[in-house]
Amino acid sequence: QSALTQPPSASGSPGQSVTISCTGSSSDVGGYNYVSWYQQHPGKAPKLMIYEVSKRPSGVPDRFSGSKSGNTASLTVSGLQAEDEADYYCSSYAGSNTVFGTGTTVTVL
């Protein structure tokens, strides 16, 4: 039950794009198309941004997109806005459990 690996931080200027990676194994990310991404602002509950690798829930801007290749999933935020500054976590179904990523703090410069 090891955490998925994410870079601790990422940054970009308003209007730019930032991509966050999420690396697991064939037992989680690589084995299932059940990767999700969550945004968390300080003091707030997480919010679902992407599910099943690349699907967006209703109300999530299309600036947010997800993909997966092998054991690594990615979240791309295009056209960065100030309100995108937050912590982002990936997660993956792993059969007998769910595993979260280590988290990435996105800073809008």
Partner 1 sequence: EVQLVESGGGLVQPGESLRLSCAASGFTFSRSWMHWVRQAPGKGLVWVSRIKSDGSGIAYADSVQGRFTISRDNAKNTVYLQMNGLRGEDTAMYYCAASPGGVGAFDWGQGTLVTVSS
Backbone angles phi, psi at 102, to 5 degrees: -75, -15
Q: CA-CA-CA-CA torsion for 3, 6, 8, 10, nearest 10 degrees?
A: -160
Which of 16/107 has CB closer to partner 1? 107
CB of 4 to partner 1, least distance (A): 10
Which of 17/97 has CB closer to partner 1? 97
Compose the 45-84 pattern: x for residues touching partner 1 by CB under 8 A, - for all others: xxxx--xx----x---------------------------
Contacts of 18 (CB under 8 A, 6+ apart): 10, 11, 12, 76, 77, 80, 106
Q: Which range touches partner 1 (CB under 8 A), out of 18-26, 40-48, 61-69, 72-80? A: 40-48
What span, in angstroms and rounded, lies between the C-alpha atoms of 53 and 67?
Answer: 6
By CB under 8 A, residue 31 contacts partner 1:
no
**Which tokens belong to 93?**
């179904």
Residues that bind partner 1 (CB under 8 A): 1, 3, 32, 34-36, 38, 40, 45-48, 51-52, 57, 89, 91-93, 96-103
